[in-house]
Amino acid sequence: MRFAVVTVAGKEYLTPEPLLKDLVDPTVISPPISIRQIPSLPETPINSQFAFSKELQSFLAGRELLLDELPYPLHVLHDHYQNGYIQYEYGIQFRAGYPHCSRCANQEAEYFFAFVCARCRQMCTYCRKCIMLGRLSQCTPLIRWAGPLPPVKIVEPILAWDGQLSAEQSVASDQLVQAIEKKTPFLIWAVCGAGKTEMLFQGIAQALARGRRVLLAAPRTDVITELTPRFIAAFPTTAIVSLYGGSDDRGKNGQLFLSTTHQLLRYRDYFDVIIVDEVDAFPYSIDQSLHCAVQKAQKEDGVTVFLTATPSKELKKLHHQKVPKRYHGYPLPVPEFQWCGNWKKKLAKRRLPQPLQLWLTKRLTSKKQMFLFVPTIEVGQQLVPIVRDLGISSESVHAEDEKRHEKVAKFRRGELQLLVTTTILERGVTVPNIDVAVLGAEEAIFTESALVQIAGRVGRHKDYPSGDIIFFHYGKTMAMVEAKRHIESMNEEGGFS
Ligand SMILES: [Zn+2]
Ligand SMILES: [Zn+2]
């Protein structure tokens, strides 16, 4: 889409090319050109008399979208722009010669690409980093709502959850209420299995009661789809929006949002409270643009709260509350180390290292379910046939595995005894009675935080609060030692010694 700058009754407006022919008596300042060639985008003041579309308000408020993402006729959008209810913004801007993406805040040169653009008929730079949300290039503006925000509907009682918090959960829950009230950035450092979702309910309920908009962001779709029904049950009168790739809620507005960190990129200055779950998990931990996305989506006077079992050094500097005990009151299972020699060589010969074989066959008789974490997809694929020869029903999964959800569901139903997995399942998946092992724990992918999360899969259910966690290795690493120390010190703080 190209735009012309037009003067009507002494005021300057940006006008989409297809609407130019309908103008009555305009003064066209520039012929239609790419938005990138317009040195500054005229903003229009709000006309409070204008009868704006409530539907468009609900669709666009808080978001920044491409024209293609807006299912409204151009003239409707233009009316709203002329009356100050919509504003345009450059998608990609050059600052001191370097491109900058307004949507994902990307500034890394290797994530920009220039192509001969059919729209603006010249070389045009676009951002590859946020391409999954639709191509944003120099000639594509972002459109945002500039009118009043849609009202929120508060129906008391807001919180329907009536469960009991443990003493440790209560302390964290109270602190969270305070932090949200005072708008102090806050960290809940809770062990795996502490019951963190329940700790959030009071703080969220209070913010909702005050008419605030709350967002819970998590890095993975699995986590959002698992949390959504729990939040709907806990907050039955609140308008809840659940956002992930392929979600039906895109375009909906509400007061409580659950979103993957990627979908968050479409929001700006909207949320009073943002809670970032599993803050250290891939891809949030390695992707600076997602940190920017959280900052961007938060209102200037809003507050962000972080939630994790394995905070970074940076996060530990925040005001925080530890929850060292699991909700069921039992200690965290402490990992055991087991040297297993050159396991890669063994696998290449279609054999298992002896200690691993023993560990597996022991469970063949007890029928207990197992997770086995491996460093690569290939190791998983090598292992499965060998393990099946032992008579153990098994599948391997990894992040790009198309049958991942199917296989995990089969495992949950108890139709598989062993699930061999890459670190993709280090969080989120909870199976009640399980033993867990890592093969090749010395590999670099198994960081302290990954190992703590993996150990955290064991003993989460109150009926099965213990279980084995064993690191099979070919040489102990610092990460292994630190993961064990981390777990032991949490147990000490939890009153176990
Ligand atoms: Zn971008
Ligand atoms: Zn272009």
Ligand 2 centroid distance, CA of 66 (Å): 13
Q: Is 450 helix (H, G, I), strand (E, B) or coil?
A: helix
* Tokens, residue 264: 């968050």
Task: Find the helix or strand (DSSP H, E) in which 277 lies.
Answer: strand 271-277
**What separation in Å is there between the alpha carbon of 34 and the centre of ligand 2?**
7
pLDDT at 23: 77
Q: Does domain 167-323 have CATH number 3.30.70.1450?
A: no
* CA 26–ligand 2 middle distance (angstroms): 26
134 CA to middle of ligand 1, Å? Answer: 10
pLDDT in tens, 179-197: 999 999 999 999 988 998 9
63, β-bridge pairs: 267
**From the centroid of its chain, how far is CA 198?**
19
Cα of 119 to ligand 2 centre, how many Å? 5
Which residue in the block uniquely carries the two structure tokens 């379910």? 369
Q: How far is CA 248 from the centre of its chain?
A: 17
Per-residue pLDDT, 287: 61
Q: Give the separation between CA 37 and CA 137, rounded to whole angstroms.
A: 13
Say what the pLDDT of residue 375 is. 96
- Residue 243 β-bridge partners: 259
Rg (the chain; Cα; Å) = 26
* Start and end residues for every CATH 3.40.50.300 domain found in the chain: 167-323, 336-493
Distance from the alpha carbon of residue 289 to the mean position of ligand 2, in angstroms: 23
The token pair at 247 is 């979600």
Collapsed DSSP state (helix, strand, coil) of residue 266? helix
Which of helix, strand or coil describes residue 162?
coil
| Ligand 2 centroid from CA 433, angstroms | 56
Does the N-terminal peptide bond of residue 31 adopt cis geometry, omega within 30 degrees of 0?
no
Proximal ligand: closest to the CA of 132: 1
Report yes or no: 428 and 223 within 8 Å, Cβ to Cβ. yes
The ligand with the least distance to the CA atom of 136 is: 1
How would you label 439-452 residue by residue, b for 16+ Cβ within 10 Å and e otherwise? Answer: bbbbbeebbbbbbb
Distances (CA, A) of 193 to 111, 203, 408, 429, 455: 38, 20, 19, 11, 11
CA of 123 to the centre of ligand 2 (A): 7
Alpha-carbon torsion (473, 477, 481, 484), positive or negative = negative
- Asked whether 257 and 215 are in contact (CB, 8 A), the reply is yes
- At residue 396, the pLDDT reads 94
Q: Are 369 and 433 in contact (CB under 8 A)?
A: yes
pLDDT at 333: 95
Task: Tell me which fold the domain 336-493 belongs to.
Answer: Rossmann fold (3.40.50)
From CA 141, how far away is CA 91, in angstroms rounded?
A: 5
- pLDDT tens digits, one per residue of 297-325: 999 999 999 999 888 888 889 999 999 99
pLDDT of residue 380: 95
Q: In the chain, how long is the greatest CA-to-CA distance?
A: 87
SS3 assignment for 288-319 = HHHHHHHHHHEEEEEEEEEEECCCCHHHHCCE
Nearest-angstrom CA–CA distance, 34 and 209: 45
CA of 139 to the centre of ligand 1 (A): 14
Classify residue 487 as left (phi > 0), alpha (psi -120 to 50) or beta.
alpha
Q: Are 449 and 310 in contact (CB under 8 A)?
A: yes
Task: Calculate how far, in angstroms, residue 120's C-alpha sits from the geometric centre of ligand 2.
Answer: 4
298: which strand partners? 271
Provide CB contacts within 8 A for 11, sequence distance 6+: 42, 44
Tell me: cis bond preceding 335? Omega within 30 of 0 counts.
Answer: no
What CA–CA distance (Å, rounded) separates 51 from 32? 29
- Which residue is associated with the tokens 């010694």? 497
Q: Which residues contact 281 (CB under 8 A, 6 or more apart)?
A: 218, 219, 220, 308, 427
Specify the pLDDT at position 215: 97
Cα(62)–Cα(269) distance, rounded to whole angstroms? 6
Nearest ligand, CA of residue 134?
Answer: 1
CA 96 to ligand 1 center in whole angstroms: 18
Q: Which residue has the tokens 């949490």?
A: 490
112 CA distance to ligand 1 centroid (A)? Answer: 8
Q: Considering every ligand atom, which ligand is closest to the CA of 99?
A: 1
Indicate the SS3 state at residue 135: coil
pLDDT by residue, tens only, the chain of 497 residues: 889 988 888 888 899 999 988 877 667 777 888 898 898 898 899 999 999 999 999 999 999 999 999 999 999 999 999 999 999 999 999 988 899 999 988 888 899 999 999 888 889 999 999 998 999 999 999 999 999 999 999 999 999 999 999 999 999 999 999 999 999 999 999 998 899 899 999 999 999 999 999 999 988 887 888 899 999 999 999 999 999 888 888 889 999 999 988 889 999 999 999 999 876 665 445 566 667 888 899 999 999 999 998 888 888 899 999 999 999 999 999 999 999 999 999 999 999 999 999 999 999 888 899 999 999 999 999 999 999 999 999 999 987 888 888 898 899 899 999 999 988 766 666 788 999 999 999 999 999 988 999 999 999 999 999 999 999 999 999 999 999 999 999 999 999 87
Q: Residue 282: what pLDDT?
A: 53
Query: Hey, which residues does 263 pair with through a beta bridge?
Result: none
pLDDT at 281: 60
